[in-house]
Structure 1
Amino acid sequence: MTKSALSSLPNEWQSWITENLARSCEPDGMVSLLVRDGRFDIGLARAAIEEASNGAFTADVPAAKEMPYIDTSANVIRTADREVKVLLTLRQPHIVLLGNVLSDEECDAMAAYCEPRLVRSPVVNDADGSMQLHQNRSSRGTMIQRGETPLVARVEARLAALAHWPVERGEGMQVQHYQATNEYQPHFDWFDPALPGPRKHMDHGGQRLGTFILYLSGVESGGGTSFPSIGLEVFPNKGGAVFFLNTDKQHLPDTLTLHAGSPVIEGVKVIANKWLRARNY
């Protein structure tokens, strides 16, 4: 018996296709991910997605895995030391815009602490997992180890409470400094499991399931966090944050989370990234 296009794919990719179609993901974007770096033939990818969208294939959807989440049932989230405002939520992809996550004093202290350590920000090399400079990312940044200072530990505990996710499953924070013209062109935070470089990073802590972007400053013009696949742009508001999930409930990449740090036009933008992993990191 000849296999259909969809059933010829590995089970995890069958589930990924059906799940993302159910979430109204763009088929062309899904095809692009499937054929990236020669993973699957484009004809097979298109046929499999078309088959799934027409209901010709019914797959058992695996049970959902544990995921971080922010409770948006109320307009204010009360943590142990702060009242955080829920300003906006989006279901697909899951994005939450938050206000009053940090005080002005906390923002200023974190930015000042990192200022002497800033260097040009690298990206992950897809081939070997090394960190390399790339023209797509022109900011300067530095890593802060988990619990490096009492302030860092306090903020990490607050984020863990907001996301219902253990501190131990978070990377250290990455502080980024964007001057005029600096940007980070569209990219994903999730690791592509089909590429050897990102796979090396998954060996320690697993996939990046969620992202916090903390705004340690405002900016006069430009510098938004844009999500081009869904037409959304979040502008920096000091003390606020945006949180989004990078994967679906099976920990498979969500292509709708493509995002960018838009060029700063006037002023300086300072942010802190916090990535939440599937396992202890």
Structure 2
Amino acid sequence: MSQTVTPELRAWIVAQATAGFAPDAVLRAMVEAGWTEAVALDALEHTLSEHLAQRAPAQPVSQPPRRRASAPADGAASFAPALPQPDLRGAPRLLDAGDREVAVLASLRRPQLVVFGNLLAPEECEALVAAARPRMSRSLTVETQTGGEALNADRTSQGMFFRRGETELIARIEARIARLLHWPVSHGEGLQVLQYRPGAEYKPHYDYFDPREPGTAKITQRGGQRVATLVIYLNEPVRGGGTTFPDVGLEVAPQRGNAVFFAYDRPHPATQTLHGGAPVLEGEKWVATKWLREREFT
């Protein structure tokens, strides 16, 4: 049964925030009262954001729960988000990524998702594929039971990782991503390149590490949780191969040089970041994936 956010509920949320209750405590109270966590979190974000816009700057009120970054990206002093994200204030059509202007093609509030155009030039896509091709092997997934890596029947691609800053091309792309998303290069994993041949896919999954699994503590020692994902399309399969988001009924078609970005403020399905790589039906698909962490990734 669907739940409706009523004016009475919004008034109650504002009253709790004004009284000094932390957003996490308000969220917990709503869940205990029977609200689903996704609805409760969305109500908190929208209500407090609207309320803040109506208040004078000298009248603070508790913000919705967000992670805090350990440091902002270089050059991001005027816009230091709690999660990696582009600056979409003012509804820009183009964003400054340092050495390149990147187009904003589409965006969602929940999940926090943006489709970018022109993130990579065609020759950069070709160079990444050429550099990665000799090093490809069957893709592994992080194994949260043990903290290691393992083959996964849900993932049938070939892949490899570049070390952070391994080549001039990799360093240039990483600096561009850091400026675009306002997140330090040091807080990113190495760029992974994946190849999907006909029939290959990656079934829907989450990119964060499940905190309930025994191996997660070991995995997060190297930089904390993952908090965002950027998937860059390096070519265009003839048919299939889109990036799907089942919770919101969205599929992003692969277009060379474009990318889809999504962030998740905590490791929970309420972020609605369930996603997958649809099967390639004809041709092949090449993508580069960048995962961003809470802290410096070592």
Q: Tell me the TM-score normalized by structure 2.
A: 0.74
Is 1:231 matched up with 2:270? no
What amino acid is the match of 1:14? Answer: R
1:160 to 157, 178, 189: 178
Check whether the contact 2:209–2:267 (CA below 8 A) recurs between aligned residues. no
Aligned length in residues? 236
The residue that corresponds to 1:272 in the other structure is: 288
Partner Cα separation in structure 1 for residue 85 and residue 252 of structure 2: 20
The residue that corresponds to 1:81 in the other structure is: 99
Partner Cα separation in structure 1 for residue 183 and residue 93 of structure 2: 20
Q: CA deviation at 1:21?
A: 2.5
Q: CA deviation at 1:157?
A: 0.3
Is 1:215 matched up with 2:233? yes
Is 1:253 matched up with 2:268? yes
Is 1:137 matched up with 2:155? yes
Check whether the contact 2:97–2:177 (CA below 8 A) recurs between aligned residues. no
Instruction: Provide closer, same or farther for how the CA distance between residues 78 and 193 of structure 1 changes in structure 2, counting only shifts above 3 A.
Output: same
Instruction: Provide closer, same or farther for how the CA distance between residues 138 and 163 of structure 1 changes in structure 2, counting only shifts above 3 A.
Output: same
Partner Cα separation in structure 2 for residue 225 and residue 173 of structure 1: 18
Check whether the contact 1:15–1:61 (CA below 8 A) recurs between aligned residues. no
Check whether the contact 1:217–1:238 (CA below 8 A) recurs between aligned residues. yes
Q: CA deviation at 1:91?
A: 0.3
The residue that corresponds to 2:140 in the other structure is: 122
Is 1:90 matched up with 2:108? yes
Structure 1 unaligned spans of 5+: 1-9, 26-58
Instruction: Provide closer, same or farther for how the CA distance between residues 280 and 266 of structure 1 changes in structure 2, counting only shifts above 3 A.
Output: same
Check whether the contact 2:30–2:40 (CA below 8 A) recurs between aligned residues. no
Q: CA deviation at 1:13?
A: 8.8
Is 1:67 matched up with 2:83? yes
What amino acid is the match of 2:93? Answer: N
The residue that corresponds to 2:214 in the other structure is: 196
Structure 2 unaligned spans of 5+: 1-23, 44-61, 69-81
What amino acid is the match of 1:106? Answer: E
Is 1:104 matched up with 2:119? no
Q: Tell me the TM-score normalized by structure 1.
A: 0.78
Q: Report the aligned-residue RMSD.
A: 2.4
What amino acid is the match of 1:130? Answer: G
Check whether the contact 2:159–2:194 (CA below 8 A) recurs between aligned residues. yes
Is 1:243 matched up with 2:261? yes
Instruction: Provide closer, same or farther for how the CA distance between residues 81 and 62 of structure 1 changes in structure 2, counting only shifts above 3 A.
Output: closer
Residue 257 of structure 1 aligns to a residue whose secondary structure is coil
Partner Cα separation in structure 2 for residue 64 and residue 89 of structure 1: 21
Instruction: Provide closer, same or farther for how the CA distance between residues 13 and 100 of structure 1 changes in structure 2, counting only shifts above 3 A.
Output: same
Query: After superposition, what is the alpha-carbon deviation per residue over 1:135-174, rounded to whole angstroms, capped at 9, x for unaligned?
Result: 1000000011100000000000000001000000000011
Partner Cα separation in structure 2 for residue 274 and residue 96 of structure 1: 14
Partner Cα separation in structure 2 for residue 280 and residue 241 of structure 1: 23
Partner Cα separation in structure 1 for residue 256 and residue 97 of structure 2: 19
Which range is displaced more, 194-203 or 167-176?
194-203
* Identity across matched positions, percent: 44
Residue 196 of structure 1 aligns to a residue whose secondary structure is coil
